Amino acid sequence: MDFDQILAKCGDFNRYQFMILALFGFINIIVSMHYFTQTVISFVPDHWCYHDKLVNMTYKEIGEIYAQFENPSCTRLDDINGHNVTVSSKACEKWIYNYDFGYRSMNTELNWVCDSAYKARIGQSLFFIGSVVGTLFYGLLSDKIGRVPALILSNFCGFAGDFSTIFTKSVATFTLCRFISGLAADTNFYLMYIIVLEYIRPSMRTLGLNMAVGLFYCLGLVFTPWLAVLVGHWQIYLACTSLPILLVVLYYFVVQESAQWLVTRNDIDGAIVRLKRVAKFNGCRVSQADFDEFRRHCQMTHEMLGGDDKKQATLLDMFRTPRMRKNTLILFFKSMVITLCYDAVSRNVEGMGISPFIMFSLSALAVLPSSVLLVLLQDRIGRKGMASGSLLVGGLFTAAAGIAIAYQQHNHNAILLACLTIAARFGVAISYESGSQYATELIPTCVRGQGVAAVHVAGFAASFLAPYILWLGTFFKAAPSIILGVLFFAGSFVCLLLPETLNRSLPTTIEEGEVFGKGERMFDFPCLHNKHDDEESESELEKYKRKHSLIDAKQMQMESCSNGKRKQSLIDADHEEQALKDANH
């Protein structure tokens, strides 16, 4: 009896699964706020150099006076006489801000604008560097001490970084706090993603995971800018978004450690304890004989794979065998394409003439429809078809938005650009969500934490190329959109080389990962197969597991025979002893 079978008896889509999906929804809300904190606290409204004669003027009048200069935000005036002004050679030291909805950001309070604008960008760079370090560290840690402790530690790190940012006044302390905050980026999300995926029925993973992401992540994104408007100040906003992160500590008492991970660590007793808790929470009765059979299966599998003498699997083991190496490299490339294009699309729409609060919320609305579309199509088309198709569609939307921005940079049509931006975000969101689930399912349980971490790190590393790709637009306006389109289409193609995971038992060991999907062709999609073909087909992994099940059964039979022989020998010995006693009498 393998893990999927024992989990079905304990309940694989019942009360416990609903609870962890709700807790995963809360994670999505706080993660959406945490990830975009840097963006919200750095919003810079229209601003102009301060002058005493501008104090009693309206923002419209001030804007008309400065409109004649190439860089109105950073031009200092020496004297103002109506519209006749004299420009000063000195740099600006004080500014007049036209606050959006009255919100005072960190950049406006610390005057990190004009020549000091780089200070906030340094903090953003350190945040991404921290995310690379943290993703690798917590990914490795999750495979050492468990998913739940690593999840709690990463979220606490995010709280410490965001809350300490409130008290920063200098570039040095600000960048340090943003680095600490960045250590939590992504791991504070995907570790809970892994836990939910491993405890939920395979046929319900798409519905449960993507609806939780779509609904709660979208809710968090839409709510985030208006929370800043509501409180009116960046420090209060940081306090409101960081303090709820502490509630994740309570997950230790309600979220069960990954039973599959415990099995890979040969802690079968620990896995059974967690499964019994799940069964009790779900109100399911599971016999001790079922757990004993699951224990024997795990023990036999462990012995077949080398027993205690075999060292624990590491990230490097994913590159030792040819098929695992190919799949891993494709997942790396796909993550790099999605993250790079997402970052480039976001950067390529700056300065559209729309309030950042409104544009932020409008683009966030694309997340929920993308999740709904995934729920409707992914279990019909399959993981491979959805990943490839979403990258193809995302490439078309991204190219359209890039070309429109490139050829309208002097006369922006705000409505057109907003629509194309939302469409581009829609395509990228589909690619990101489908890609996250696909990678988590393909990577074996024994290295899932560090494997998923490495995939995400590859994406973060590639995102540093986005500014340079956009810089090429200074030579040829359509260059960025062409490059991004080629990357999207290349990612769409290589996804066809990956195996399908829809309604399949997921690999738990490196050996199972090597045979997973063996024999599948490039254009094998579940939607093109009829039921009869599916019933007759048997994947290489299923054959591998069935072979081990037969070995288990044979071993049990041998043990039973051995026990029977020992029992018969004892009976015969008792008879002989009794006969000797009778003879003596």
| 402 and 343 both lie in a single domain | yes
Same domain, 29 and 70: no
Pair 104, 172 in one domain: yes
CB 473 within 8 A of CB 479: yes
pLDDT value, residue 132: 85
Query: How many structural domains comprise the chain?
Result: 4
Is the domain of 360 the same as that of 446?
yes
Q: Which structural domain range is residue 76 located in?
A: 47-98
CA dist 246 and 158 (Å) reads 10
Domain of residue 179, CATH code: 1.20.1250.20
Q: What is the pLDDT of residues 107-151, one digit of tens each?
A: 999 999 888 888 887 887 788 788 889 988 998 898 889 999 999
| The pair of three-digit structure tokens given for residue 298, joined into one six-digit string | 């795990």
Residues of the chain predicted below pLDDT 70: 83, 305-311, 346-353, 401-402, 405-414, 417, 467, 471, 473-474, 477-478, 529-585
Quote the CA–CA distance of 434 and 321 in Å, as a whole number: 26
The closest alpha carbon to 206, from 46, 380, 455, belongs to 380
Q: Are residues 462 and 503 in the same domain?
A: yes
Q: What is this structure's pTM?
A: 0.77
> Residues 254, 296: one domain?
yes
Residue 460 buriedness (CB in 10 A; 0-12 / 13-18 / 19+): buried
Sign of the torsion angle spanned by Cα atoms 71, 72, 76, 80: positive
How far apart are the C-alpha atoms of 105 and 107, rounded to whole Å? 5
Whether the Cβ atoms of residue 440 and residue 452 lie closer than 8 Å to each other: yes
Question: Where is 47: in which H helix or E strand?
Answer: strand 46-49
Shared domain check, 320 and 462 = yes
Residue that finishes a domain, picked among 257, 288, 310: 310
Summarize pLDDT for 206-234 with one digit per residue, the tens.
788 888 888 999 999 899 999 999 999 99
- Shared-domain flag, residues 226 and 299: yes
Q: What is the pLDDT of residue 129?
A: 84
Model pLDDT, residue 419: 78
Residues 532 and 554 in one domain: no
Q: Which residue has the tokens 């799940």?
A: 278
> Are 441 and 369 within one domain?
yes
Contact 508, 3 (CB under 8 A): yes
> Based on the domain organization, do 258 and 322 belong to the same domain?
no
The secondary structure element, H or E, covering residue 569 is helix 540-584
Q: Within 13 Å, how many C-alpha atoms sit on residue 360's CB side?
A: 21
